[in-house]
Chains A and B, each alone.
Chain A
């Protein structure tokens, strides 16, 4: 075996007494017997894994042995390295610490190097130490044959120390040999599956926690090192090139063009946060935040940290606001740095970076609603052109919408696991969901009459004259109770944020949630199609626009229009006459014109509050089915027929009465009860009828049009393949008149809630669910209230949830019929004031009544 070596590079001179004096470092190594020093060995040195603390070397050299792992993938072998650190003098009279490194390939070679060094010591009374006059040495050392590695087993006492899961420290003892140290370290390394690393005769090491065994040079050193290790995590086996990471961070802090530094950061994005925290704190991140240090290099450091450790983003946002105020230059530094980082990052690990950035945004949301950070700061982060986080905006909006959609569908049963944003931000929304929706969805009660403001005789709006007119302070009298409001006010920062982000629909949603009303500008920006709109649905929530004083006056005028118009007709000529007389032609004319315009500005159409809840679909004239589709649909018609039969028999098992169902299906699909022929479906012999083909094609045409226009299929096919498909379910729901049930349920809840004081809408709904036998019935998301997503996939899910209601009502009816409490046949329907409705209402009131 051969041992290579290299030493700290110095310029030197030899004194007459044969000692060397340093004349300065060369910045390189000398006496190198290898072509190139192995990269990993160089990195280990850079990571101070062979470094003793300055000022602690004694006349007796410190010896440090370590296995440096290579890289199997790159074909780099492991190296066994022993460094001998001793001190000399320089030409200025200073102590200089220098090192001589011995290394041999393979992890097993450390024992042999130790044995060889012990051998030299036995012969010369000293370990081989730094010797610059070996300058000409270029060949490795050949180990004499008499040097052998002998097996050394730690004694029991030593094993107790070695078996502890931390660095083993041994006190000074003359009997120690390097072979002994190495054997002990080897024992511990094997037990803990770590590379061997030990230090011998040291006073202080730069990183003692990165050793598994240390033999100290003095008792004082024992206490000192023990103290340091006690406060540090044992990291002997870490393979993170900490020095490289520190350098990369420093380089980016100092704003040197650094694509390679960005690459290093990107490579390590996955390492645990604790490690990153330590690295950034080493550079002063902690102090910079705490002491509000707004220097440019800290702007860069903390920006980088906010990217790499998303948890730090909220604090960073507060800090950077201060930094910008402190010095305008910081704003540019902050943005320019992000821009250059983003540019370099996109060339390396874009996906990992995106995850980190998105995580940061998610961390921000809870802090935003807790008002730890301002909506303005978050908006800037997401919109500033150079902001690296601006790439997260779309995803954030999507995620928020997805969550709101989910909450809308499942309300209080929303599964946390399915939420995309941190569930804590939705906690209040979910808890109060029923209160918000039920109380905020007065459903059919909204009528033009009571939505209008009423003016008192003196021409001013009277307070509280209408349930749906909101006072100027932005609170609706119809809004949730005060307690609920205070819990929901937390969403106001989200409303403000999305307003700034120009995501007006979301802004409107959160204004509705937090304030019970949507400011007019936000509402109109969100739903710009109709400037007169005052309400609309979004994610199961009825959004109500703030009504201004002007509008109230106009509403009043509309209502009283006829009376006023007649008065105007009477007054107008007199006014005109008087005006001309008093003010003269032009002026008088303008005044009259203005006055008249106020009244004339009211719309010509019949007055009504524009209400954007989805109207029942209107049926356009039936389109012809393209030939190619018609041909296939004809071939599959038998399947379609069976499916429709299934739907019919599901509704009505009595064959005699099944004929009555077909007109309902016909109406649901075509808007015309009599358009579709029942026999084509129900009569197996109908195919022989001469009109069969014509009637069948009408069915296909009806199905095709229903799929295309009502269900918005991308590829309508005019077929019904199963009794559970979207088309079949749509027909079922139509036959069960589910649109009626949808209207009636919120009314039922509201009626009971209004009657039974102190009962919340959510309680009523839950009791209703229990009563009709299914506690998991979904309420929002368009199932009963709200709007659904347009995706077909969601439609299918929605239908399924709606049919669950139908089934529950049907089984309730059957049960009550059995109990003789209901005479009505079970039909799965709930209609205002029908027998089922009355019974259900009565039973719910009994259950919920405090007495």
Chain B
């Protein structure tokens, strides 16, 4: 009886219509070293392969604009064909950089709650507009001496408008920790000096390629993993946070994910290992392609809160 009554009132507003889903939005800039997996991250997110909305809190992921749609094409025509994405060119005009608009529909964490159900939609919408800067911006432009160049100025201006910065770091590139910390420090200071833009910024440090065994085992402890592998980067972020400039959080992700449930193994084929100790890999089996940890940082960038189910995904 009670459950029937709950069902009756659940998801219904006074006029009998289900309430409109809450909409959360964020403008995000994805930064990181060359080949840290930024575009692959975005392509895997937009493609959202082998979706399982019954189990996953993520119901759908849909591109909104043509740039977003182009990610799906890339995922299908390149990643699923066992190829790697080409490096994103460093565009001299930051407005010509692709701006991926994507809508993610999530199950509402609180929609089950009888006290909140009446005026709560079963879903939450995340609308993100996300520019994936060429790795050269982070690896090269930030370190150039002429920081007043128009390219640098435009990128910084563009970055200032973003509420969220997602810094992607290849989990295995820990040798570059000092270099990354230096780049990040420079970026944060430049943004701070420039002023304006959004009042409070969120920075998500996302370790990518966490399908790699040494990262996989610690994937549920992102902060610990980040601290142990990239102590200087974490220190830079902590300092920035302490200055009251915004908030930070840590995430682990894999664009390619794992295969198998009982004895999971990375869904990748290693193809090269360069001098920097960076493993490069391609998707092994597109049929079972299931990335993980891609939506959790976005939810946090939109809300400032962690989503338990997404963290466990």
Contact = CB atoms under 8 A, between A and B. Distances in A.
Whether chains A and B associate is yes
| Highest count of chain A CB atoms <10 Å: which of B81, B129, B278, B280 | B129
A34 B84 CA distance: 35
A243 B158 contact: no
A25 interface: yes
A96 B87 contact: yes
Interface stretch (A86-94, A666-674, A765-773): A86-94
Interface string A254-267: 11100001000000
Interface string A294-329: 111110000000000000000000000010011100
Interface string B152-167: 0000011001000000
Interface in B42-92: 62, 64-66, 68, 74, 77-78, 81, 83-87, 89-92
Interface stretch (A123-131, A284-292, A364-372, A383-391): A284-292
A25 B86 contact: no
B64 A288 contact: yes
A139 B306 CA distance: 59
A27 B20 contact: no
B83 A55 contact: yes
A46 interface: yes
A295 B104 CA distance: 13
A94 B85 contact: yes
A683 B89 CA distance: 100
A261 B96 CA distance: 13
Given A92-B274, A283-B65, A287-B64, A27 B23 contact: no
Nearest to B74: A54
Contacts of B158: 254, 256
A25 B88 CA distance: 9
Interface in B2-49: 20, 23, 25, 27, 34-35
A284 to B, nearest CB: 4
Given A92-B274, A284-B101, A251 B95 contact: yes
Interface stretch (B134-142, B204-212, B286-294): B134-142
B40 to A, nearest CB: 11
B87 A90 contact: yes
Contacts of A327: 23
A24 B157 CA distance: 23
Interface string B277-299: 01010000000000000000000
Nearest to A206: B70
Contacts of A254: 27, 99, 129, 158, 161
Contact of B23 (A28, A246, A295): A295
B93 interface: yes
A97 interface: yes
B90 A95 contact: no
A203 B236 CA distance: 46
B27 to A, nearest CB: 7
Nearest to A278: B66
Given A92-B274, A326-B23, A284 B78 contact: no
A297 B99 CA distance: 11
Contacts of A298: 127
Contact of A243 (B23, B89, B96): B96
A282 B81 CA distance: 26
B103 interface: yes
B191 interface: no
A293 interface: yes
B103 A293 contact: yes
A804 B228 CA distance: 99
B86 A27 contact: no
Contact of B95 (A250, A288, A292): A250
Interface in A25-59: 25-28, 46, 54-55
A247 interface: yes
Nearest to A288: B64
Interface residues of A, number: 48
A90 to B, nearest CB: 6
Contacts of B77: 55
A291 B78 contact: no
Contacts of B125: 293
B181 interface: no
A714 B167 CA distance: 76
A284 B92 contact: no
Interface-central residue, B91, B92, B158, B278, by most chain A CB under 10 Å: B92
Contact of B161 (A8, A96, A256): A256
B1 interface: no
Interface centre among A8, A243, A282, A284, by most B CB within 10 Å? A284
B87 A46 contact: no
A651 to B, nearest CB: 71
Contacts of B272: 93
Interface in A572-603: none
B65 A282 contact: yes
Nearest to A294: B23
Given A25-B89, A295-B127, A91 B274 contact: yes
Contact of B35 (A94, A246, A256, A283): A94
Nearest to B35: A92
A93 B20 contact: no
A138 B158 CA distance: 34
B243 interface: no
A11 to B, nearest CB: 8
Interface in B84-143: 84-87, 89-93, 95-96, 99, 101, 103, 125, 127, 129, 134-136, 139-141
Contact of B157 (A256, A284, A326): A256
A81 to B, nearest CB: 18
Contacts of A11: 140
Nearest to A292: B20
B168 to A, nearest CB: 14
Contacts of A326: 20, 23
B136 A24 contact: yes
B84 A95 contact: yes
Nearest to B125: A293
Interface in A231-245: 243
Interface string A793-827: 00000000000000000000000000000000000
B269 to A, nearest CB: 12
Contacts of A95: 83-84, 86
B101 to A, nearest CB: 5
A8 B134 CA distance: 15
A193 B138 CA distance: 46
Contacts of B134: 25, 27
B74 A92 contact: no
B187 interface: no
Contacts of B135: 24
Contacts of A22: 87
A26 B91 CA distance: 9
Interface string A407-447: 00000000000000000000000000000000000000000
B310 interface: no
Nearest to A95: B86
A281 B280 CA distance: 36
21 contacts: A24-B87, A25-B134, A27-B90, A27-B92, A55-B77, A55-B78, A91-B274, A92-B34, A95-B86, A253-B129, A254-B99, A254-B129, A283-B65, A283-B66, A287-B103, A291-B62, A293-B23, A294-B25, A294-B127, A296-B25, A325-B20
Interface of A: 8, 11, 22, 24-28, 46, 54-55, 90-97, 243, 246-248, 250-251, 253-256, 261, 281-284, 287-288, 291-298, 322, 325-327
Q: Ordered nearest first, which 6 A-B pairs have the shortest CB separation?
A: A284-B65, A295-B25, A247-B95, A284-B64, A27-B90, A92-B35
Interface of B: 20, 23, 25, 27, 34-35, 62, 64-66, 68, 74, 77-78, 81, 83-87, 89-93, 95-96, 99, 101, 103, 125, 127, 129, 134-136, 139-141, 151, 157-158, 161, 271-272, 274, 278, 280
Given A26-B140, A55-B77, A250-B95, 11 more contacts: A28-B92, A46-B93, A92-B87, A93-B272, A254-B27, A261-B95, A281-B66, A284-B68, A287-B64, A293-B23, A297-B27
